[in-house]
Copies of this chain bind each other. A is one copy, B any other.
Amino acid sequence: MTTQGKVTVDLSVSLDGFSAGLGQSEDRPFGADGGDGWGSKLHAWAEDAEEMRLQLEMLGQTKAFIMGRNMFGPVRGEWDRPWNGWWGDNPPYHGPVFVLTHHAREPQVMEGGTTFYFVTDGIESAFKQAREAADGGNISIHGGATTVNQYLAAGLIDELRLRIVPITLGAGTRLFDGVGQLDLEQVESRDAGSFMHVTYRVLS
């Protein structure tokens, strides 16, 4: 038996639990969250140098990624216009990224080792492919909440890292929606001044 890496989640959430506001678009990747475009309030942590360092460290320790097609981009329904993600020609993943969607598409090879694979046969299939690709390394269930909630409900997440941002949104995509009762263990916290970063281990 080979050792299996950790399955982690890393999300920013508003104090009322949303990881995106309503009305996501190409100009406003996080939807209506009181900010503007990449000046999104949920994404403001990216201006914190230590937080960015932690984020890059986490990405470096991760060997495969799973995300929903809404996190991948603003194209909905058929892939009727060119879209290769928000991150330019050389995305920060440097490994396989499995994108959940109901709309089949050929794999998209990027620079720097990132390849986007489009998975149309569900979360278990994406998980199995990510496990194989990670080869004992960590997997990140990378977002958004619709995707994370399915993996939480399936009991497949080991660790949840949350940046808790001091805003409420009132509407949007909500972490834990439909997940039910979980017991977690608080394992680490960091007061970043303008937000909290808290890490939880999922117990059951």
A191 to B, closest residue via Cβ: B189
Q: This chain: how many copies in the complex?
A: 2
- Contact residues in B for A166 (Cβ distance below 8 Å): 183-186, 200
Which residue in B167, B183, B196 is a CB contact (below 8 Å) of A167? B183
If A176-B15, A176-B168 touch, whether A194 touches B186 (CB-CB below 8 Å) is yes
Q: A31 within 8 Å of B by Cβ?
A: no
A182 to B14, CA, bound (A): 10
Asked whether A82 is an interface residue with its Cβ less than 8 Å from the other chain, the reply is no
Kindly state whether residue A88 has any CB partner on chain B within 8 Å. Answer: no
- Beta-carbon contacts under 8 Å, A151-187 to B: 162, 164, 166-170, 175-176, 178-186
- Min Cβ gap A90→B in Å is 34
Chain B residues near A195 (CB, 8 Å)? 186
Whether A182 pairs with B196 at a CB distance below 8 angstroms is no
Q: Please measure, in the bound complex, the distance between the C-alpha atom of A17 and the C-alpha atom of B191, giving whole angstroms.
A: 20
Instruction: Check if A110 is an interface residue, CB within 8 A of chain B.
Output: no
A166 to B189, CA, bound (A): 12
- Whether A122 sits at the interface, judged by CB under 8 Å, is no
> When A15-B200, A191-B189 are in contact, do A179 and B170 touch as well, CB less than 8 Å?
yes
Kindly report which residue of chain B lies nearest to residue A188, judged by CB atoms: B191
5 A-B contacts, Cβ less than 8 Å apart? A16-B175, A16-B176, A167-B181, A167-B182, A168-B184
Using CB atoms and an 8 Å cutoff, list the residues of chain A in contact with chain B. Answer: 15-17, 34, 162, 164, 166-170, 175-176, 178-186, 189, 191, 193-196, 198, 200
Extra contacts, 12 of them, besides A164-B198, A166-B200 (Cβ < 8 A), are A15-B162, A15-B176, A15-B184, A16-B176, A34-B181, A166-B185, A168-B181, A168-B182, A169-B181, A170-B180, A170-B181, A196-B196
